[in-house]
Chains A and B, each alone.
Chain A
């Protein structure tokens, strides 16, 4: 039994002159779902490859389940289940064949592996597709089979590198449901990378945001949102000129003001209580808003605040 924790300390990974991971540290507790969130090229997959023994760190220490990924790679492979971003499946084989072989390679007898394969095919709902070669699978089916392969040896720690990238919303929800079930019922520690804020918000107990190889922010989803102190009042006007006028009139009432075409955003604490004063001020200046809404900070706002760039939203990505 491992301790089911992941400890990463000052991890650095250089490729020549390029530093892909630049002093990353975090701690995943046993039984947690940990979301590693960041845009493409931020260093997520590199970190996963190091944690799963496929690549070596340039500096720093990584322990998975208490085992050092450099000197105890064999032990790490025994307790870690891995579904990489690039799904690696032999297109000429069938799901059952792949699962049975995986089980045998992990030391199961053929009978044990066959029983486990049947069980997993049911879990990932591929029982109808067992006669098809994997080359004929859809993207969602390939992801689900890849997940099943990662689970064959009942790992204590599961690594999922962008498990839902490229999936349709229904398949995505299936994977989410399965991830939650594995975590709840088996107590599996799950390390998940994602580009989707919604996914991290939905699944993760703890989140680290990685940007250009560094951890930009870390904490629970609620903590991260709370760190952005303010709620926002969003006021839409008929023209951009009106937005500029309103901005000048209201600037002193908010901690921070942003304009986005015909929308003016005022960031301030306890926005609801400030609404009457804002409306009065607008009436005094003769500006007529088309609509006024209140929003609480989203992880997207957190990301914007810590990295200075807006996150790829799920709709745009899909």
Chain B
């Protein structure tokens, strides 16, 4: 009897202390919705990366499209399908900064502190903007692909393959968001966050950017082989040009996940440092 009373009393006491709290997923969705709303209020922050990607896509296709058939390994294949993944990846890496930009705005306006004073989970404060960023990444990839289709793209794997490409793009961008978010939380500064984003620039081009990996040699080949983005690029290209290739896709997904794990560990550390009471 005595035991029943004791165990019975405890949950009651706790219920009065922790009044209704939104489940974590609802918190994340709520914050992501709010971030999407503000992102759409400042389209000037998200449109340029897409515009640049589309611009380069058109340029590559018009200048190199005709010559590509002379490249060994690409004979008889579409150069557009070969180069489109590069455009998608560059827009993904640019879009990886969206979550961080939103965080920096909250840090500098002081709204972040205001949120810390609510019962919101610390993780949701970061995962909300990251989820919003993922939605935008999907939109950006879709826009680039649509332009590709308008230019005459005929993907080997059809619509499901295009969806898989979008999925990879979102995964990659969201993984890298862990890095820019760490910079945002660590510095609280828009300039530093933007600076951190530039690391993606060499990463995009130290890959088998313009010719197949097999044609690269020397240091560039080594760099490309070590660069995880190469494997994402190869996975996307296989979907566009050759068809479903499980091994290549797995490598692409694995490369992204390994990267994302490292970057999210960093982001978790930055979040703890930022929100730890001093």
Contact = CB atoms under 8 A, between A and B. Distances in A.
Contact of A89 (B22, B42, B109, B116): B109
Taking each of A73, A75, A82, A104, which has the highest tally of chain B beta carbons within 10 Å of its own beta carbon? A104
B109 A90 contact: yes
B119 A105 contact: yes
B114 interface: yes
B229 to A, nearest CB: 32
A101 B30 contact: yes
Contacts of B117: 52-54, 77, 80, 82
A231 to B, nearest CB: 45
Contacts of A74: 17-18, 119
Interface stretch (B33-41, B53-61, B142-150, B251-259): B33-41
Contacts, number: 81
A235 B118 CA distance: 56
Interface string A73-96: 111011010101011111111000
Interface residues of A, number: 33
A105 B118 contact: yes
Nearest to B41: A92
Interface in A158-172: none
Contact of A78 (B19, B38, B278): B19
Contacts of B110: 84, 86-89
Which of B42, B114, B116 has the largest number of chain A CB atoms within 10 A?
B114
B37 A97 contact: yes
B114 A93 contact: no
Contacts of A89: 109-111, 114
Nearest to A1: B16
A101 B34 contact: yes
Contacts of A75: 17-18
Q: Classify the secondary structure of A's interface with B.
A: loop
Interface string B234-278: 000000000000000000000000000000000000000000011
Contacts of A133: 41
B214 to A, nearest CB: 48
Interface string B97-130: 0000000011001111111111110000000000
B113 A92 contact: no
Interface in A93-117: 93, 97, 101-102, 104-108
Interface residues of B, number: 30
Contacts of B41: 92, 133
Most A-side CB within 10 Å, residue of B17, B41, B111: B111
A107 B121 CA distance: 12
B85 to A, nearest CB: 33
A73 B116 CA distance: 11
A54 B111 contact: no
B118 A88 contact: no
B27 interface: yes
B21 interface: yes
Nearest to B26: A104
B34 A97 contact: yes
B42 A92 contact: yes
Interface string B129-147: 0000000000000000000
25 contacts: A54-B113, A54-B116, A55-B278, A56-B278, A74-B119, A75-B17, A77-B117, A77-B118, A78-B17, A78-B19, A80-B117, A84-B110, A86-B113, A88-B112, A88-B114, A89-B109, A90-B105, A90-B111, A93-B37, A105-B118, A105-B120, A107-B19, A107-B22, A107-B119, A108-B20
Interface of A: 1, 52-56, 72-75, 77-78, 80, 82, 84, 86-93, 97, 101-102, 104-108, 133, 149
Given A78-B17, A91-B109, A101-B30, 12 more contacts: A54-B113, A54-B117, A55-B278, A75-B18, A78-B119, A84-B114, A89-B114, A90-B38, A92-B42, A97-B37, A101-B34, A105-B119
